[in-house]
Amino acid sequence: MPPSALHALADLLDRSFARIADAAVDARTLDRQLIHRETNPWRSYAGDHVLPLFTAASSRPAPAGEWLARRALRRMGEFDGEQHAWVSELPGAAGLLGAAPAVDPTVPERGWDGELQPPAVQALGRAALAPYDPAAARFTGLSLECVPGGVDASVGLELPRRYAVNGPERQPARMAVRLTGVTLSAFEGGRGSSGELGWSTDEGRTEVLVGGHGRLVAERSEFRNGDWYWHDSEEGLAAALLYPPVPEGLRERRRARRRARGRNHWTDRAERWPLPLDRSSHLAAALVRQALARASLGACADRNEQRAVLDVCRVFRGAGTDVLAAGRLGGKGFRALIHRWAELGGDPMANRFANVLHGNSGTGPAGAWGRRLALELSQRPWPTAADLPALPRAAALRLLTADFEGIRLHRQPGTAVLQFAVPPRDGGGRREGWDLLTVVVEGITHLRVTPGAFAEPGRVDHLNRRRHALEWGSSLCVSWHPKTGLMRTVGQESEIRLVGRSDG
């Protein structure tokens, strides 16, 4: 008997929530990249894949639902090679997919405007940097993050072009050097400081020198080119002969197909199936979409959403299997499922549930039921200050991101984000994993990192909420001021110093 596409789609949803919960259960092992990989296929540019699951589960006859589920699976796998591999990890799902997209990130490709774009991934070396002047580079930002198996780094640079741009130059050549398996990180720089780039590779070991004070040693490295005008360089003109532009008519047809499979995915011919759906299934699908969007915030560097992600996964764990069971009962089953999710969410998630139900209720009896439930949930109490966790006793640095140009964090220039793992601030009675503490500092002008920054966690001697200060005994000390943006971190074995506007 061939594998069921509907059950495979439901198992993928169950697997996503289970993996996200495992990745976020302990801040010391928080995996932001895994959270992104598990949430992105459900809400990517290829379209919404949550509603097809609910449509297929409640469709009659059953072959129609199986056809819709198979269509959704194939569209998931056709988006890119990473999503194809993600779906294929599920036993039996590989046979339901087509061929993997033939996308090679190491070769140029045409963008949406028909212009040739540089390879997404290149080896760090003279060939990749030939159109630019590494000796006159300018430092724009740094990111260091603890990941499972080590530390990864990314250095942001602006490189002067050695070629003339055909037309007005609206964007500088912004690059990034990605490093995996960092074994040594010592860095010092500030906004506008020299970022002269040097590198050496020897027996699987890459050493990157940035400016006069930056030195990073890693196992692997890659160069990410973000130059909008690379097609005007000699290398780009030579590559254009190997990758000719797509004819205008064919390009327009490809764009039309992408738009059909994108935001307005119901206009795709494969999805126009006259299935009478109860509004309750749409409400349940909207709650799952909101849950995945909430879970995706766990991958954001400047958000502190670990506990919210764990609450979402606790409520929606096994949601795929529950959807299949509710689909057999129709609208009654989905309304019972929504009630169950609302009870599991409790007061902390009641207002979010109410907003989703109120905004997606629509008309008809099911819509009126959704509005009544939304009104009931909106009257529940909000969490108060008394529910906030206690102060941390120790902390371990997990992430440091400094953005001097407002590129990485999409905030104002001179913003830094630090994420710490702290012991459970509720006395450890609820769970064993450590919590996440996120600190956002604005107005920095200088950054210094020494090799011991990601050492073992230190003991917190003092934290004053009014002065916004954390102090780690003899190993690390962090203090900042919310108005002036002043932050200095000093220690005996490690040092991170972010200096901003002084308050005099």
3-state SS record for 56-70: HHHCCCHHHHHHHHH
**463: pLDDT confidence band, cut at 50, 70 and 90?**
very low
Three-state secondary structure call for residue 58:
helix
Average pLDDT over residues 359-382: 84
User: In this structure, are residues 209 and 157 in contact, taking their beta carbons and an 8 Å threshold?
Assistant: no
Tell me: pLDDT of 446 over 80. no
Span 414-445, pLDDT tens digits: 788 888 888 876 544 456 788 887 777 777 77
Taking every pair of Cα atoms in the chain, the longest distance, rounded to a whole number of angstroms, is 76
Backbone angles phi, psi at 335, to 5 degrees: -65, -40
For a pLDDT cut of 90, what percent of the chain falls above it? 19
- Picking from 40-44, 201-205, 497-501, which range would have the lowest pLDDT averaged per residue? 497-501
d(CA 502, CA 443): 10
Cis bond before residue 61 (omega within 30° of 0): yes
Average pLDDT over residues 456-481: 44
Tell me: pLDDT of 3 over 80. no
d(CA 128, CA 235): 9
Q: Quick one: pLDDT at residue 24?
A: 92
Span 117-138, pLDDT tens digits: 899 888 888 888 999 998 888 8
Span 284-323, pLDDT tens digits: 999 999 999 999 988 888 788 888 899 999 999 999 999 9
More confident residue, 492 or 49: 49
Q: Quick one: pLDDT at residue 149?
A: 81
Span 37-46, pLDDT tens digits: 999 888 765 4
Q: Quick one: pLDDT at residue 500?
A: 47
Three-state secondary structure call for residue 325:
helix
d(CA 356, CA 353): 5
User: In this structure, are residues 15 and 37 in contact, taking their beta carbons and an 8 Å threshold?
Assistant: no
Tell me: pLDDT of 489 over 90. no
d(CA 78, CA 88): 12
Q: Quick one: pLDDT at residue 450?
A: 73
**206: pLDDT confidence band, cut at 50, 70 and 90?**
confident
Global pTM?
0.82
Tell me: pLDDT of 386 over 50. no
Span 259-289, pLDDT tens digits: 555 444 333 333 444 444 678 888 999 999 9
Tell me: pLDDT of 464 over 50. no
Distance of CA 388 to the CA centre of its chain: 26
Q: Quick one: pLDDT at residue 114?
A: 77
**Strand ranges (E), 361-452:** 394-403, 415-422, 435-442, 444-449
Tell me: pLDDT of 459 over 70. no
Q: Quick one: pLDDT at residue 442?
A: 72
Q: What is the mean pLDDT of the chain?
A: 77
Q: Quick one: pLDDT at residue 300?
A: 86
| CB count in 10 Å sphere of residue 189 | 25
Q: Quick one: pLDDT at residue 479?
A: 44
Tell me: pLDDT of 27 over 50. yes
Torsion angle of the four alpha carbons 240, 243, 245, 251, in this order, in degrees rounded to the nearest 10:
-150
| CB count in 10 Å sphere of residue 152 | 18
3-state SS record for 252-297: HHHHHHHHHCCCCHHHCHHHCCCCCCCHHHHHHHHHHHHHHHHHHH
Residue 181 has which token pair? 């398996």
Backbone angles phi, psi at 9, to 5 degrees: -65, -40
Tell me: pLDDT of 225 over 70. yes
**254: pLDDT confidence band, cut at 50, 70 and 90?**
low
d(CA 97, CA 101): 11
Query: How far from 371 is each of 29, 302, 312, 366, 378, CA to CA, in Å?
Result: 40, 34, 22, 9, 10
- Picking from 153-162, 176-185, 259-268, which range would have the lowest pLDDT averaged per residue? 259-268
Distance of CA 504 to the CA centre of its chain: 38
